[in-house]
Amino acid sequence: MAFFASNKNKTEGTEMSFLQHLEELRWHLFRSALVVVLVGVAAFCYNDFVFDTVIFGPLRQDFITYKVLCSLGHKIGAGDVMCMTIKPQHLQTLSASEQFFNHMWIAFLAGIILGFPVILWELWKFVRPALKNQEVGPVKIFVVIAFMLFLVGIFFGYFLLFPMSYNFLVNYQVSSSGIVQTQNTFDDYISLISTMTLVSGIIFEMPILVYFLTRMTLITPQFMRKYRKHAVIIILITAAVVTPSPDVTSQMVVAVPMYLLYEMSVFVSVWVIKKHKLA
């Protein structure tokens, strides 16, 4: 109730009631939802760009990730080890409604991702009156960092994690006889790219999660340092699984950002302990 007591009516300068807070929240949610819908409708209308350029980008040989990795391999003297050959693919649909509903799903995700800054802005405007003057700066920075981490995670998932994982899975063979052939479906492709991209964005919020867990004394820097070796092993295994090439360089491209994220989380935990004197 401290939040409601400290929030002031913008026009009258008096304390707002519970129902007034609900009304205020309703309008913030309405504006956020409106932005998501408008961006989603635009993405739905520009389906050729959204699908041919963005969604189906990793299926083309000229995708920027493949060109950059191949160029990096040549520069470090690894030759064509990091170059990937992408086989032309046709995604199948098994039902009449599959393309339409996946079109709707991708448009909705585009609305969420592209409208995320506005959602955070509306959230910020709602909680701003409840903050003390000395709290405004840190919370504003906190919101910006949360958005930047989410955006970096989305990019990491789309440009690195998904292309490498997908090409590994689609080319995987249980035997050399060629009896089993992968005929991927459109629905499976959309599910994989959307899931891996969103999960990557959420994973990159690890420092934010560690911040709250440390504030609640559920995790400490000592705990994270103690199990650093275990975290490194898990990261290396994950990188080895998702990269299609057995060379170490390709695996490090995925593993290094994940490890840096872990170290950043340790730093955040240390900062929280010192800032709030929880130790």
Q: What is the pLDDT of residues 101-131, one digit of tens each?
A: 999 999 999 999 898 888 888 887 777 776 6
pLDDT greater at residue 246 or residue 236: 236
Q: What is the pLDDT of residues 129-181, one digit of tens each?
A: 766 776 667 667 777 888 899 899 999 999 988 888 888 888 888 888 888 88
Terminal C-alpha separation, the chain = 28
Q: What is the pLDDT of residues 191-215, one digit of tens each?
A: 989 988 988 888 888 888 888 888 8
Q: Are the C-beta atoms of residues 139 and 146 closer than 8 Å to each other? A: no
Q: What is the pLDDT of residues 18-63, one digit of tens each?
A: 677 677 788 888 999 999 999 999 999 999 999 999 999 999 999 9
pLDDT greater at residue 246 or residue 72: 72
pLDDT value of residue 238: 80
The residue-averaged pLDDT of 75-79 equals: 81
pTM, to two decimals: 0.77
pLDDT value of residue 61: 92
* Residue extents of the structural domains in the chain: 17-88+95-143
